[in-house]
């Protein structure tokens, strides 16, 4: 698994520069950058994955939130559940950084194996579809020549 952007070495979730805009982000800026809906970001907040600062009833996302969201998007892309992601983030936030890293690797490795199995199944289905197409086309040709 490629390095996570979220700084697992920092109990408070310190930022690691991602090369993106540094500083503060509105909910709409994050939504646009990551291609997510506002509802999705609010859902992540409800699940305590993101903890934006509130100022005058507005959410302000800091660089650490940007970095955490980068990792959330990556973890979701491989099929991790919200509960799994939450477990990883909770371990890190509670100071159990090594355990959080181990859990992330364990879950990602499991997902990798599941994905490889799905790829194999899809390749087999693709070959079967090709065979079916060939069989049908050969019959169509047979009917035309009769």
Average pLDDT over residues 103-115: 97
Cβ of 46: how many Cβ atoms within 10 Å? Answer: 9
Rg over CA atoms, the chain: 22
Looking at residue 23, what is its pLDDT?
Answer: 83
Domains and CATH numbers, the chain: 24-111 (1.10.1660.10)
44 CB-contact burial (10 Å; exposed 0-12 / middle 13-18 / buried 19+): buried
| Contact residues for 123 (Cβ-Cβ < 8 A; gap 6+) | none
pTM of the model: 0.74
Structure tokens at 14: 């310190």
Looking at residue 3, what is its pLDDT?
Answer: 56
Looking at residue 111, what is its pLDDT?
Answer: 97
More confident residue, 47 or 55: 47
Average pLDDT over residues 108-118: 97
The pLDDT mean for the chain works out to: 86
């Amino acid at each position: 698994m490629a390095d996570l952007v979220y700084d697992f070495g920092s109990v408070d979730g310190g930022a690691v520069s991602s090369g993106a805009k540094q500083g503060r982000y509105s909910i709409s800026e994050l939504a646009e950058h990551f291609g997510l809906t506002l509802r999705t970001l609010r859902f992540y907040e409800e699940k305590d994955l993101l903890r934006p600062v509130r100022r005058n009833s507005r959410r302000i996302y800091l660089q650490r939130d940007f970095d955490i969201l980068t990792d959330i998007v990556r973890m979701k892309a491989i099929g991790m559940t919200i509960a799994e992601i939450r477990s990883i983030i909770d371990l890190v936030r509670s100071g159990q950084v090594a355990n959080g890293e181990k859990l992330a690797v364990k879950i990602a490795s499991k997902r990798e194996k599941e994905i490889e199995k799905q790829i194999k199944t899809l390749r087999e289905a693709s070959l079967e579809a090709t065979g079916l197409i060939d069989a049908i086309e050969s019959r169509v040709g047979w009917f035309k020549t009769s």
